[in-house]
Amino acid sequence: MFKKKQPLADLAVVERQIFNLTKLVNINSMINSTLDMGRLMTVIMETIKDIMETEASTLLLYEEKENDLVFKVALGEAGKELTERYRVRLGQGIAGWVAETRKPIFINNVYEDRRFDPEFDKITGFTTRSIICTPLLFKGKLLGVIQAINPIDRPGFTEEDMNLFKVFAEQASLAVQNAIFFQNALEEERIKSELTSARTIQEALIPDVNMRLGPITITAKSVTAREIGGEFHGIFRLDGDHIGIALGDLHVKGVPGGLHASIVSGAIRALAKIKGKNPVELVRLLHLIMEHDERPVRNASLLYGVLDLPESKLRFLNAGVAYPILVRDGVARYLRFGKRSLGQNIEEAKSVAVSLMAGDLFVVVSDGILRIKNRMGKHLGLKSVMRFLERGFDPSEDIIESILGFARDFADELGIREDISVIVLRVD
């Protein structure tokens, strides 16, 4: 007994199903062949048009920061008009509805659907008749939305098209997420590279100091909690008998702080050639320069002093939160002279002078070291630093490294999360 022949229309449907399944088998390797986001978008859109047999296709990526969708790639008659030019709010149009509800949908005769937004047709001159749209989801997270528009030689989309489109969307979502991971990794590497370069520049502009001038040894070091930071030190030879000493804190961390610190440090170095022997005048001029900057730094701190080598005398002005400590005969004294900030009543600021004697230790620390916390939430504080300085140091001991080691031991596993600058004058 002969079986009844299948209608040609049914055979065409079966053939199309087999064709599409074959395409889906090859799609995975195709869309995972690149991690370049631009190339991947193009491949996905070309594949959508091929599989769904449509006039156009559109990919919109979700930007979490802006909470909207942005056209990244669009192929077909309106492709050039849509590439990276238009944004869609969640809930706006078919794509916005799909992104907001996380539900796939196909609509034939879109102008009869209240969710359809005809604005893009008006902008591009393209006429949309039918849309099939599904979200790109990765573990429930919205990555974007893909659309196929206007089936060719067919009156509209069907449930079979929807099933095929959803299978494709699952593969596309994985490929897009892999590309995002890769793109983020490249961006992290780029940032690391830029930070390394910035740190190299900052270290060149603010190098560690270790010099001996007669009976006085001067050491200085700035340590950042991140790659670069907003604290700095400077030791400037003004002439054969005078040394300029600066310790500053812009109270800005990271790259912005590092850039400003390098600029301000350079400005001080330049001013030191003109007014370096007058702490009050130098700080006043620096204040004026910073106030006239397009983006002035507020609440900056600076201790600037001039060491007179023949007289072993240090005259300094403290405008901010640097902490000068004089250790004499085993007793540490905090020299509490100065203003809160570089910008507060600087015209009224006065310098003070300290005569250094044999055996003296003059240490200036930034407030970063005082703010270091231990696991109990307790700050290291000024008194602890002063007690540590009173313990005495061997002639060959690196005092700054000993201070930093003391701070690290206090912070323990929390680590040092503050920028630190230290200047030490040691008199034999």
Residue 360 has a pLDDT of 96
Average pLDDT over residues 326-347: 78
Measured CA to CA in angstroms, residue 411 lies from 102, 278, 300, 375, 416 at distances of 47, 39, 26, 7, 6
The helix/strand/coil state of 110 is helix
Stretch 90-101: mean pLDDT: 94
Are the C-beta atoms of 271 and 282 separated by less than 8 Å?
yes
Q: Give the pLDDT confidence score for residue 385 in this predicted structure.
A: 96
CB neighbours of 34 closer than 8 A, spacing ≥ 6? 40, 43, 179
Per-residue pLDDT of 235-276, as tens digits, reads 999 999 999 999 988 877 666 666 677 778 888 888 888 888
Identity at 372, one-letter amino acid code: I
- Taking only Cα atoms into account, the Rg of the chain, rounded to an integer number of angstroms, comes to 34
Which residues are CB-neighbours of 263 under 8 A, at least 6 positions away?
none
Average pLDDT value for the chain: 82
DSSP label of 387: H
What DSSP element (H or E) covers 8? helix 8-31
- What's residue 187's pLDDT? 66
Under 8 Å between Cβ of 279 and 322: no
Most confident of 79-93, 147-161, 213-227: 147-161
Tokens 């403290």 belong to residue: 318
pLDDT in tens, 63-95: 888 889 987 654 555 544 445 567 889 999 999
Lowest model confidence (mean pLDDT) among 201-210, 270-279, 320-329, 338-347:
338-347
How sure is the predictor about 127, in pLDDT bands with cuts at 50, 70 and 90?
A: very high
Given a cut of 80, whether residue 338 has pLDDT beyond it is no
Question: DSSP state, 413?
Answer: G
Higher pLDDT, 385 or 1: 385
Q: What is the pLDDT of residues 317-335, one digit of tens each?
A: 998 778 999 999 999 999 9
User: What's the maximum distance between 2 C-alpha atoms anywhere in the chain?
Assistant: 123
CA distances from 338 to 123, 232, 319, 348, 350 (A): 64, 19, 5, 10, 8
Give pLDDT, residue 287. 80
Judge whether residue 115 has pLDDT over 90: yes
C-alpha closest to that of 83 among 99, 93, 72, 69: 72
Task: Look at residue 402 in the predicted model and tell me its pLDDT.
Answer: 95
How much is the average pLDDT of 284-310?
78
Question: Using CA atoms, how far apart are residues 113 and 92, in angstroms rounded to an integer?
Answer: 13
* pLDDT higher than threshold 80 for residue 189: no
What is the per-residue pLDDT for 23? 62
Average pLDDT, integer, range 284-290: 81
With a CB cutoff of 8 Å and minimum separation 6, the contacts of 218 are 209, 210, 211, 212, 235, 243, 245, 307, 423, 424, 425, 426
Smallest CA-to-CA distance from 145 within 186, 85, 87, 80 is with 87
Task: Please tell me the least confidently modeled range out of 148-162, 339-353, 404-418.
Answer: 339-353
